[in-house]
Structures are given as structure tokens and as C-alpha cells.
Amino acid sequence: MTIEDWRREINALDRELLRLLNQRARVALKVGESKTASGVHLCDHTREREVIERMCEANQGPLDDRAIVELFRAIIHESRRIQARATNQSSEQADHKLKLPPGHTRVAFQGAPGAFSEEAAVKLLGEEITLVPRPSFESLFAAVEDKSADYILAPIENSLAGFVHACFDLLLDSNLNIIGEVIIPISHYLIGCAGSSFDTITAVESHPVALDQCRRFLAANPQIERIAAEDTAGSVARIVARGDRARAAIAGRRAAEKYGGVILRAHLEDSSENYTRFLLLSPEQDFPKDADKLSIVIELPHQPGALHNALEPFARRGLDLLKIEGRPVKGRPWEYCFYLDVRGSSADSEVIDTLSELRRGRVETRILGAYLSAAMPAD
């Protein structure tokens, strides 16, 4: 057979693939309709993981498992996107922006313009805000006090890397209050300068957390040197400004668009279940009336059963604890405070009674904020 014969066969296979993909999409839409009718969220990461694992087990090559993972991630992503569009879920989420008071729309975030934090701020508050980039977490938490910003948006946890301890410690040391939260998916891209290609790249720079979340890609390309940097978007700005075709950055698509970088590879992250949760912090306790989530921190006496005794009142009243995280208490070695996320608001009678009971039991209690819980992204 000639090359043209092989190409004709590929063309026929492509048409069959397209037919099957659209057939699969039509079934996915019916699944989305059933989920919406039942009040179930469109995202089901357990099911998605099972699909990908099953396809990898069934794979007989020559495509390797990485190719299968990437192909089915893309298929699942597009299925969720059309499900969300069909149910208007994505447009409803886009319209639900937290409204800031007129004249107080300056929001500080850590990183360079184009960072994931900037993306999160726009998702939560809309394009009308004034964005204030800050180079470090310390300068971020000082932005309200030095009058550079009216609010700050800080990352508090990542679904893979865990709690952002630096931000939590700075929050405890501040007088800021949590009034909102937002969750965004984290997708990493290999970004070069104009004229670069994947084959020319010998070094890549990014924030250490981003590099760690792309270990599989980096292990598969040992010729690429890893270089730790202050932030993801700033890395893109530097490599584009230098014009070095041998150097690339790992960052989000927004950073590539912001600085004119060229995307050389997409979705480098080891896991598609990569999300970061951000908190909107205010100097005022202007908690929203529809708050359904409460964040508190408690410090316990150093005695047997103290943690059990502190958590028991929540269980007795049927209050749902969404998160528990322990941190050392500064200046008191081997003593700990505990961060709790609770389903409810500071106005709920059950919450009020529980916190009163804790204080009577010599448990130091501080309300960090009350806010509307964020939905997991549909895309």
C-alpha cells in the first residue's frame, strides 16, 4: 500500500471516531439531564477516574498509558462542558458574582498578572474589579493595612498539595475576616517564547508546587532541567521577555495569553483532580446574609481528651464538619490550634450554642469568617 492508501484509511477511521465521539456525547448529555433532575452535581471524579483506569487496563497499544489518560481526560472534559452548557449551570455560576461595595473594588492577590490567583479573583468577583498583584504572601496580607487594596484573595488549600500553611498562619496573625471563597481547576501548560518548540527546550521554570504537580511529565523528559521560581505567571513573563528558545515555563493558559507565550504542551498535571480553594478576606465582618459555611479556629487545653471533648458538641447537634486542620501555636511548643470548616452560619442557633459550650469548657474560639460555600467547577 502507498502513503495515500494509508491516509485514506486514516481518514475513514477519523470519520468513525468522530461518529462515536458524538454518539458518546449524546449519551453524556442524557446522563447530565438525569443528574440535574436528581440534584446531583455534574462532576463525579470517582467515575472519571474509573473510566480512565479501565481504559488504561484495556489498552493494547501502540498508544501508551499517558496517551490514553490525556485522550480520555479531554473527552471527559468536553462531556462535562456540554453538559454544563445544556443545563445552563455554567452560565448560572458565571452570573453569581460576589458584589463589593462601590468604590471598594481593589483586590490584592499573590503573584504576577496572569497568575491562578488573578483568575480566581475574576471568577469570584467579575472583570470590573481592580487587581493588585503582590510579590509575596507577606506583602499580600499587608495590602489592606498599607491601603494598597480593599480586600485580598489568598489560597488556602490545594486538592493535591494540601493546606497552604503560610497563608493560614498569616490569617491568624491578621484582623482580616473570610467573606467569600472560590475554587478553580488548576491546569498546567508548558509555555515558551515566540519561535520555540518542544524539541528546543532544555530548562523549565515555575513555582515549586507547580513543578511538583507535573512530576510525571518531568520524569518522562529528563533532558529538561527544573528551575524553581517565585510564581507561575512571573516565570512566563521572564521567559517571553528573554526570548530564550531553550527555556520554558509551567503556568496556566491565562499567563500564556497575558504575555504572548506559546503553548508547547497542555495539561501537564499528574492528576485532573487538581483544584485550589481561595478565600476572600475583608477588614470588616461584612458576612453575606446567605452564608452557609463557617470557619473557626480553636485552641485547646493541653489535657487528655481535649480534642474529643471539643468536637463532641458538633456531633451531638448534627453539625457537619467539612475540614479539620491542626497547626502549632506560636510560642507554645507542642501545643496546637485547630482550623475547622463547619456547614452553617454564625447566626444559626445550633452553631451559637456549640460555640458557647466550647467557651464554657475553656476552649479558646475565634470565628474567622462566614460565607457562601463555593461549588466545584463544572469545567
List active site positions. Answer: 276, 278
Task: Cell numbers for 320, please give them.
Answer: 457537619
d(CA 88, CA 108) in angstroms, rounded, equals: 31
Residue 122 identity (one-letter amino acid): V
Cis omega (within 30 of 0) for bond into 62: yes
List 164's β-bridge partners, or say none: none
Which residue is it, cell 498599607? 146
CA R_g for the chain = 24
**Edge-to-edge strand ranges of the sheet holding 247-251:** 225-228, 203-206, 247-251, 189-192, 262-265
Helix, strand counts (H, E) of the chain: 13, 15
DSSP tag of 199: G
Q: Are residues 182 and 204 in contact, defined by beta-carbon separation less than 8 angstroms?
A: no
| Three-state helix/strand/coil letters over 257-308 | HHHCCEEEECCCCCCCCCEEEEEEEECCCCCCCCCCEEEEEEECCCCCCHHH
Phi, then psi, of 283 in degrees rounded to 5: -75, -15
Count of Cβ atoms closer than 10 Å to residue 1 Cβ: 7
d(CA 340, CA 351) in angstroms, rounded, equals: 12
Please tell me whether residue 230 adopts helix, strand or coil conformation.
Answer: coil
Task: Cell numbers for 38, please give them.
Answer: 436528581
Residue of 10, 39, 329, 302 whose CA lies nearest to 173: 329
d(CA 195, CA 204) in angstroms, rounded, equals: 16
Strand-pair category, 151-158 with 106-110: parallel
